[in-house]
């Protein structure tokens, strides 16, 4: 994860709504899409049990970014 963050731009979580994201699916592989859905489900469950600070890495139309938030 640290290698990915070296090339990612930090953005405040309040600014994420101002970004532009692709409308098309970004994961071509069905297995990776299933894993993403599982990861989101796990994060939701954990967020309801315990609150932890996490880094979320994503890509908008201008490149890789990350933010930090509590889930």
- 44 vs 12, higher pLDDT: 12
Three-state DSSP at 22 gives coil
User: pTM of the full predicted structure?
Assistant: 0.70
CA distances from 3 to 7, 8, 59 (A): 7, 9, 15
Give the pLDDT confidence of 26-65 residue by residue, as tens digits.
Answer: 888 999 999 999 988 988 887 777 777 888 999 999 999 9
DSSP string covering 15-66, please? GGGGS---SS-S---HHHHHHHHHHHHHHHHHHHH---EEEEEEEETTEEEE
Task: Provide the 3-class DSSP secondary structure of residue 13.
Answer: helix
């Amino acid at each position: 994860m640290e290698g990915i963050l070296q090339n990612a731009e930090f953005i405040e979580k309040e600014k994420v709504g101002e970004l532009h994201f692709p409308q098309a699916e970004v994961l071509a592989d069905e297995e990776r899409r299933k894993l993403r859905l599982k990861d989101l489900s796990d994060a939701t469950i954990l967020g309801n049990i315990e609150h932890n600070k996490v880094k979320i890495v994503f890509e908008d139309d201008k490149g890789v970014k990350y933010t930090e938030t509590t889930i």
